[in-house]
């Protein structure tokens, strides 16, 4: 197996042991190998692999993302940037990337497991994690040339550089293909002009996947994806946004003023950006749907012990059927959401089937259930649900 047993070890040693054969505890029926959405040599993980991975991520989050850090990240609205190399060293930044660039080649179920556990510890850190490892790293893995991968992936996977993806604009959100950022051809490349809004990791990023109109009159057929180095002249992060939730997942408004992007930094084909964008969105929604799963588990992590310890009328409040009913609803909503996300991810890993409606459905369903579960968590905690000493309000905002 692609030795995630080495996840807790330094990247250099982890890499050298990744080729070692892993003997799973459980034997399963035939698993299909690589699809166009996985690197060469990919084999879908077994349930035992995923369980072991989950335990590794939990060890990491217990050690590196305790509640105090999650609360501080929320309060300070600042990402703990020292986290990036730690995530890289653990192997989590290249879940779907090729071994040649330091990746673990473990596919989308595994990526969902890491995203879920990361978000259980801190939704904000989870969101920034996914913007880096899925929106940026995976887009480069799937669409990059060998030279682009060699240039960008090792640093991104090691966590020594930070990645982001910029499609949305203040006037182009749901209707993203109405974007107005332009890329004008010039000698040796393109000049980018425009702004991008709500870009996760935008204030910290070293490299950003940016979509721009190369031929505006062609509408969706005139969009191209570019890899933009943020050190380029003319690039700036105009401001960092002050959000309701996911605080500390740094979100920015970006400005491009005659930013020169060399031709070798075109990701995919000129005017082929909408395919890169739309196919990427399916997998982005799928992996991001694991965020609300982690937040639901976090709500249960808070509500279960609290309702068993808190006594009113002489007994723990959890002894009341109404309270038990709320806990049962929270658990059931979480499990139903998990089933949807992981079934959709399994179809990608094992059969190469990506259903757009299920990638969107999984995140829609999980996000709405997570909002309900976190509201229930606040209610179950009574007055303690309303004060910042407990994480309940942070979970709702996330
Ligand atoms: C925390 C956070 C992180 C983000 N990170 C990134 C990132 O990293 N990169 C990036 O590119 N973008 C990012 N975004 C932007 C995000 O993708 C957009 O906010 C999203 O696409 C919605 O666009 P909008 O905000 O313009 O809403 P709008 O499109 O203006 O929608 C407003 C409301 O109208 C509804 N609506 C719109 N069209 C229709 C319709 N046809 N029928 C019915 N209802 C409709 C919507 O459902 C919504 O309720 C992020 C946003 C947030 C909040």
Our mutation pick for probing the ligand 1 site, out of 163, 170, 174, counting the most ligand atoms within 8 A of Cβ, is 174
CA 231, CA 170: separation in Å to the nearest integer?
23
**Distance of alpha carbon 322 from alpha carbon 202, whole angstroms:** 45
In this structure, the chain runs to a length of 398
pLDDT mean over 117-137: 98
- The residues annotated as belonging to the active site are 284
pTM of the model: 0.93
3-state SS, residue 213: strand
Q: What pLDDT score does 1 carry?
A: 42
The pLDDT confidence band at residue 36, using thresholds 50, 70 and 90, is: confident
Residue list, ligand 1 pocket, CB within 6 Å:
131, 135, 164-168, 173-174, 198-200, 243, 246, 251
Question: Which pLDDT belongs to residue 200?
Answer: 98
pLDDT of residue 4: 55
For residue 207 the two structure tokens come to 């490299």
User: What does the pLDDT look like over 296-331, one tens digit per residue?
Assistant: 999 999 999 999 999 999 999 999 999 999 999 999
Does pLDDT of 267 surpass 70? Answer: yes
**Matching CATH topology for 165-276 and 289-397?**
no
> Is-contact 197 204, C-beta < 8 A?
no
At 100 the pLDDT is 96
What pLDDT is attached to residue 127?
98
Cα three-residue angle 263-266-270, rounded to 5 degrees? 95
pLDDT band at 6 (very low <50, low <70, confident <90, very high): low
What are the tokens at 208?
């950003």
Q: What whole-number distance in Å separates Cα of residue 362 and Cα of residue 375? A: 20
Ligand 1 centroid to residue 173 C-alpha, Å? 4
Atom 45 of ligand 1, residue of closest alpha carbon: 174
Give the per-residue pLDDT at 22: 30
The per-residue pLDDT for range 341-387, each reduced to its tens digit, is: 999 999 999 999 999 999 999 999 999 999 999 999 999 999 999 99
Q: How far is the CA of 102 from the centre of ligand 1 (A)?
A: 33
CATH match for 289-397 among 3.40.50.11540, 3.40.1280.10, 3.10.50.40, 1.20.140.10: 1.20.140.10
Which pLDDT score, from 0 to 100, does residue 40 have?
87
CATH hierarchy code of domain 4-162: 1.10.540.10
Residue 291 CB contacts under 8 Å (≥ 6 apart), including other chains: 115, 116, 119, 123, 126, 127, 130, 366
- From ligand 1's centre to the CA of 128, what distance in Å? 17
- Lowest model confidence (mean pLDDT) among 15-29, 58-72, 79-93, 130-144: 15-29
Q: What is the CATH number of domain 165-276?
A: 2.40.110.10
Please state, in angstroms and as integers, the Cα–Cα distance from residue 338 to each residue in 161, 197, 250, 362, 382, following that order: 31, 30, 27, 9, 27
Domain ranges (residues) in the chain: 4-162, 165-276, 289-397
Q: Is the pLDDT of residue 263 over 50?
A: yes
Cβ-defined contacts of 58-67 (< 8 Å, 24+): 58/117, 59/8, 60/7, 60/8, 60/86, 60/90, 60/92, 61/117, 61/118, 61/120, 61/121, 65/118, 65/121, 65/122, 65/125, 66/121, 67/391
Tokens for 79, please give them: 């990402």
Select from 176, 197, 198 the residue to mutate for testing ligand 1; criterion: most ligand atoms less than 8 Å from CB: 198
Taking residues 47-66, report their average pLDDT: 98
Q: Is the pLDDT of residue 21 over 50?
A: no
Ligand 1 closest atom vs CA 251: 3
| Listed residue (121, 118, 132) closest to 71, CA to CA | 121
The reported pLDDT for the residue numbered 30 is: 37
Side-chain-side CA neighbours of residue 55 (13 Å): 8
For the chain, what is the mean pLDDT? 92
Question: For 8-22, 66-80, 81-95, which range has the lowest pLDDT when averaged over its residues?
Answer: 8-22
């Amino acid at each position: 197996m692609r030795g995630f047993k080495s996840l807790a070890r330094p990247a250099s040693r982890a890499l050298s042991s990744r080729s070692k054969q892993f003997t799973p505890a459980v034997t399963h029926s035939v698993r299909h190998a690589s699809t166009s959405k996985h690197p060469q040599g990919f084999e879908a993980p077994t349930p035992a692999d995923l369980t072991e991975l989950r335990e590794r991520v939990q060890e990491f989050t217990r050690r590196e993302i305790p509640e105090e850090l999650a609360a501080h990240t929320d309060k300070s609205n600042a990402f703990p940037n020292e986290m990036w190399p730690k995530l890289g060293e653990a192997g989590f930044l290249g879940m779907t990337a090729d071994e040649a660039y330091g990746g673990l080649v473990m596919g989308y179920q595994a990526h969902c497991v890491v995203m879920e556990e990361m978000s259980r510890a801190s939704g904000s850190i989870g969101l920034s994690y996914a913007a880096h490892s899925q929106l940026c790293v995976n887009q480069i893995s799937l669409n990059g040339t060998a030279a682009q991968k060699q240039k960008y992936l090792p640093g991104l996977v090691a966590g020594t550089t930070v990645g982001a993806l910029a499609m949305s604009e203040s006037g182009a959100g749901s209707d993203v293909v109405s974007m107005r950022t332009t890329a004008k051809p010039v000698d040796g490349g393109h000049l980018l002009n425009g702004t991008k809004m709500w870009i996760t990791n935008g204030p910290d990023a070293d490299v950003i996947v940016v979509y721009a109109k190369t031929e505006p009159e062609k509408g969706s057929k005139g969009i191209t994806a570019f890899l933009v180095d943020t050190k380029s002249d003319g690039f700036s992060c105009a401001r960092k946004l002050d959000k309701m939730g996911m605080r500390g997942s740094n979100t920015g408004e970006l400005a491009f003023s005659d930013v020169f992007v060399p031709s070798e930094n075109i990701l995919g084909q000129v005017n082929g950006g909408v395919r890169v964008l739309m196919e990427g969105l399916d997998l982005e929604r799928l992996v991001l749907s694991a965020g609300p799963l982690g937040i639901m588990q976090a709500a249960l992590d808070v509500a279960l012990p609290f309702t068993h310890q808190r006594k009113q009328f002489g007994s723990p409040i959890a002894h009341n059927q109404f309270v038990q009913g709320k806990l049962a609803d929270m658990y059931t909503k979480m499990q139903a959401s998990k089933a949807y996300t992981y079934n959709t991810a399994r179809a990608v890993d094992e059969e190469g089937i990506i259903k757009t409606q299920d990638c969107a459905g999984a995140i829609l369903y999980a996000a709405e259930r997570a909002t309900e579960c976190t509201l229930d968590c606040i209610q179950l905690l009574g007055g303690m649900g309303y004060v910042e000493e407990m994480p309940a309000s942070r979970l709702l905002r996330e």
